[in-house]
């Protein structure tokens, strides 16, 4: 066990170095949501209600970006370049490898949430999160859910060249529908049903209740149940369909 933890730590340090040495990954998976926060915050600066809704929305988007999007890209890249196959052939335990990868995703998510919370406090007149424990719970559950879905989704992507098209075809519609329904009280019923069934809107609602004082949020248990079901679905297919081999030669 001590050796496995030590190897996980070394893999985690390697993942951190690789992340920051890849400018495009650092931009799209880390900085892009923060740019959305800055741009939308400047536009909505005259409406405190809109800012109160913007902050948890960007926080939810950040969780999805640093887990689902990042892992889908990385798993496909490593698989199709033969890196996963070579890792499989080394003495590095599988648990240590994925432990380092998971810890890297958690670190990126924690950094983004911290920056979003700090920006809300300093620039958008939003106080510190009134329910820190609830915030931590929703972030952790969201990370597990979207990380599992990202790994599972990587199985259906045939090659690295098509990764952007596949990921954006899922990421952008989910973000649009979830943001629209969360912000609008007049959204069509069928869109509300779709958004409520997807994991992002329940995550945003949970984060809203935890991050913004006085924000109305539906039952935390209902939101956690939806996210948890998606997480279980993602874990099942992430494990069942995982392959160390390239999908084509």
Is 246 among the domain residues?
no
Q: What is the pLDDT of residue 145?
A: 96
User: Does the pLDDT value for residue 246 go beyond 90?
Assistant: no
Give me the number of domains the chain comprises: 1
Q: Above 80 in pLDDT, residue 219?
A: no
pLDDT value for 171? 94
pLDDT band at 43 (very low <50, low <70, confident <90, very high): confident
Distances (CA, A) of 140 to 41, 124, 144, 204, 228: 26, 25, 6, 13, 11
207 touches 190 (CB < 8 A): no
């790994």: which residue's tokens? 151
- The pLDDT, as a whole number, for residue 88 is 86
- The answer to whether residue 249 is domain-embedded is no
Helices 94-122 and 2-20: angle between axes, nearest 10 degrees: 50
Of residues 206 and 94, more confidence is placed in: 206
Average pLDDT over the chain, rounded to an integer: 87
Note the pLDDT of residue 37. Answer: 82
Q: Is residue 247 part of a domain?
A: no
The stretch 19-32 carries a mean pLDDT of: 71
Largest separation between any pair of C-alpha atoms in the chain: 57
245 falls within a domain: no
**What is the reported pLDDT for 221?**
86
With 90 as the cut, is the pLDDT of residue 236 above it? Answer: yes
Domain assignment of residue 101, yes or no: yes
- What does the alpha-carbon distance between residue 115 and residue 31 come to, in Å, rounded to a whole number? 11
pLDDT for position 10: 92
Q: Which two tokens stand for residue 141?
A: 């559950």
pTM of the model as a whole: 0.90
On whether residue 57 sits in a domain, the answer given is: yes
Q: Give, rounded to a whole angstrom, the gap between the first and last alpha carbons of the chain.
A: 37
Sequence-distant (≥ 6) Cβ neighbours of residue 177 within 8 angstroms: 191, 194, 195, 198, 201
Work out the pLDDT band at 235, boundaries 50, 70, 90: very high
Which among 160, 150, 175 has a CA at the least distance from the CA of 234? 150
> 86 pLDDT exceeds 80?
yes
Q: What is the pLDDT of residues 126-172, one digit of tens each?
A: 889 989 999 999 999 999 999 999 999 999 999 888 998 999 999 99
Which bin fits 213, alpha (ψ -120 to 50), beta or left (φ > 0)? Answer: beta
For the CA atoms of 100, 146, 61, 170, the dihedral, rounded to the nearest 10 degrees, stands at 120
111-133 confidence digits (pLDDT tens): 889 988 998 888 888 889 989 99
- 248 within domain boundaries: no
Distance CA 88, CA 171 (A): 30
The domain in which residue 100 lies consists of 2-240
pLDDT at residue number 30: 67
The CA R_g of the chain, rounded to the nearest whole Å, is: 18
Element (H, E) at 235: helix 220-240
What's the pLDDT score for residue 204? Answer: 94
């Amino acid at each position: 066990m001590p050796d496995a933890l030590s190897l996980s730590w070394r893999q985690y340090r390697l993942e951190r170095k690789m992340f920051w040495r890849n400018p495009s990954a650092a931009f799209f998976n880390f900085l892009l949501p923060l740019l959305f926060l800055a741009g939308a915050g400047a536009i909505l600066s005259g409406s405190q209600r809109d800012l109160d809704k913007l902050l948890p929305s960007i926080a939810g988007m950040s969780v999805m970006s640093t887990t689902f999007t990042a892992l889908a890209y990385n798993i496909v890249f490593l698989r199709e370049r033969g890196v996963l196959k070579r890792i499989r052939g080394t003495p590095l335990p599988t648990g240590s490898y994925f432990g380092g990868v998971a810890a890297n995703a958690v670190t990126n998510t924690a950094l983004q949430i911290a920056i979003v919370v700090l920006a809300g406090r300093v620039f958008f007149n939003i106080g510190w999160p009134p329910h820190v424990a609830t915030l931590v719970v929703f972030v952790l559950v969201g990370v597990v859910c979207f990380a599992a879905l990202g790994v599972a989704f990587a199985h259906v992507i045939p090659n690295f060249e098509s990764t952007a098209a596949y990921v954006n075809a899922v990421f952008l519609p989910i973000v649009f529908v979830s943001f629209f329904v969360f912000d609008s009280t007049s959204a069509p019923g069928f869109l509300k049903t779709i958004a409520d069934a997807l994991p992002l809107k329940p995550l945003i609602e949970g984060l809203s209740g935890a991050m913004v004082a006085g924000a109305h949020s539906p039952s935390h248990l209902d939101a956690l149940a939806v996210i948890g079901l998606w997480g279980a679905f993602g874990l099942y297919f992430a494990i069942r369909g995982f392959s160390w081999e390239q999908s084509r030669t």
